[in-house]
Structures are given as structure tokens and as C-alpha cells.
Amino acid sequence: MSRSIILVFGLVVLLSVSCASLGKLSRHDFESGFYKLKVQGAAPSRVYAEVTEDSIIVYPVTSDGKSEFPNTSTSLSTRVSRIKKDSYFYRSSFTNNSFDIDLTSIIFKSRHSRDDVPNQFSADLDVAVYLGFRKDFYNIVSPVHPFHEEKSFIRQIGFDIGLFAGIGSSPVNPTVTNNIVSQEYDAMIFQKGFAGFISINKISIGLAVGFDNLIDKSRSLWIYNQKPYLGLIISVSSF
């Protein structure tokens, strides 16, 4: 069994094992947990936020040097939709860092010109597992209308960077094999690389720099084998 086939088999196993937990791990909603809280006019502080629908209860955090604990002897609570200009949480921000695992797809690839073949723009089927480090910001937004005050809400913005690996397909034809392969067909590829994402609420999109390996007898002839490309990548596990 070739090394490429072993890699693909390993990825399929990883996908099978991970699918049950991908949805949970890739969720980036504002949920109960530990955050760094920044309010206007005060230094950032470590807190535990208990989030239930439209309400937030914030507890200060104590530590024994190894673990963090919410100090339940004191707390601040509010309804998000009712946060006004004079509220302690007005225009505040909750942030946290996390390890990210997502199911992704590179929807467009831009390949640099090779030999006599000009720049190529492709949109072939593929799927990949993405692993990275993420930072999320949950900002309290309190819009003000000229004639009435609107309800406050939480806007989530996230940034992360990491690695991806997956499988996909790519056409093989005379053009991309220096006219050595006369047939035209679609072959399987193993792809890997690194990517960076920006997420706003439920939308997550980013840029990827990747490398493809053709899993086929024509891999040594394919002009794009192990050559870098620039891709537009999206997270599909949140949809």
C-alpha cells in the first residue's frame, strides 16, 4: 500500500471518528464559560459568565495556581437586550482563546502558471479537517436610533489560524501533463496546508495556502503536484 493511500485511509478514519464531535467542537456561540472581560474605563479582568438565553450572570474568578473557579459570593447580572448607556456592561467585550477543529472545504483554488499553462482558477470538490488556534470576541452592541433606542445584542467576531488536510479531486488531461497523458479524467488528490479564518456570527471564511498530491499513476507527470496554490476556504461544519 502506497504512502498516499495510507494518508487518505488515515484521513477517512479521522473523519469517521470526529464527525460525532465536530458540531460541538466547532461551535463558537457565546456560551457559559471563562472569559476575559473588558468594560469601559477599567482594566480587563478574568470572569466566569453564565449565559442563559438573553441573560448574563458574571462572577469574578479565583485560582489555586492550577485551576480557575468562579467566586459565587458576588456577581453582576443583566439582560443583554436591556443594556443601556449607563449600564456597567455598555459596549463591553468578552474574549476567549480556544483550540479549533472544523470540517472545511476550499471552494476556489488559484494555481500559478506552470510551463506553458497560464494561471488556473478551479472549483473542484474537496473536503478537509482543519485544526487551529482561535480567538473570539463577543462584543455588546447597543445601537441608538434617532427616534428610539433599539435593543442591545452580542456580535461575535473570531480569528484563527491553523493547519488542514483532506481529500478532493482534480482533472487530469494533456494540458496539465505536458501532453504526455492523452486521456481526460478526474483523479483523487490529497491536500494539505495552512489557513487563516475570520468569523462574524455564523459566517466563517478564510484564505488557505495549500499543496496537492495526485493519488494516481500520473502524479509524476501532473504539473501541479506538490506545488503551492492560494485558496478561498470556508467552514462547513457550522451549517
Instruction: Please list the pLDDT of the chain residue by residue as tens digits (239 residues).
Output: 444 444 444 554 444 444 444 444 445 789 999 999 999 988 999 999 999 989 999 999 998 888 899 999 999 999 999 999 889 999 999 999 999 999 999 999 999 988 788 888 888 889 999 999 999 999 999 988 777 778 999 999 999 999 999 999 999 999 999 999 999 999 999 999 999 999 998 889 999 999 999 998 999 999 999 999 999 999 876 53
How distant, in Å, are the alpha carbons of 17, 31, 232, 234 from that of 156? Answer: 29, 11, 21, 17
**Conformation bin of residue 74: beta by default, left when phi > 0, alpha when psi is -120 to 50:** beta
Does residue 62 sit within a domain? no
| DSSP H or E segment with residue 196 | strand 185-200
**Conformation bin of residue 201: beta by default, left when phi > 0, alpha when psi is -120 to 50:** left
pLDDT at 19: 46
Does residue 102 sit within a domain? yes
Residue 33: phi and psi, rounded to 5, are: 165, -175
pLDDT at 233: 96
Q: Are strands 45-52 and 55-63 parallel, antiparallel or unpaired?
A: antiparallel
As to burial, measured by CB atoms within 10 angstroms (0-12 exposed, 13-18 middle, 19+ buried), residue 4 is middle
Does residue 86 sit within a domain? no
Residue 37: phi and psi, rounded to 5, are: -105, 130
0.95 exceeded by pTM: no
Does residue 83 sit within a domain? no
CB 223 within 8 A of CB 200: no
CB 224 within 8 A of CB 12: no
Query: What is the number of domains present in the chain?
Result: 1
Residue 216: phi and psi, rounded to 5, are: -165, 160
Smallest CA-to-CA distance from 175 within 111, 230, 116, 108 is with 116
Does residue 194 sit within a domain? yes
pLDDT at 237: 66
Does residue 146 sit within a domain? yes
* Residue 36: other Cβ atoms inside 10 A: 15
Does residue 133 sit within a domain? yes
Does residue 111 sit within a domain? yes
pLDDT at 20: 40
Residue 8: phi and psi, rounded to 5, are: -65, -45
pLDDT at 236: 78
pLDDT at 148: 73
Give me the residue label for grid cell 456561540: 29
Residue 126: phi and psi, rounded to 5, are: -160, 165
pLDDT at 31: 92
Structural domain harbouring 17? 3-32+95-235
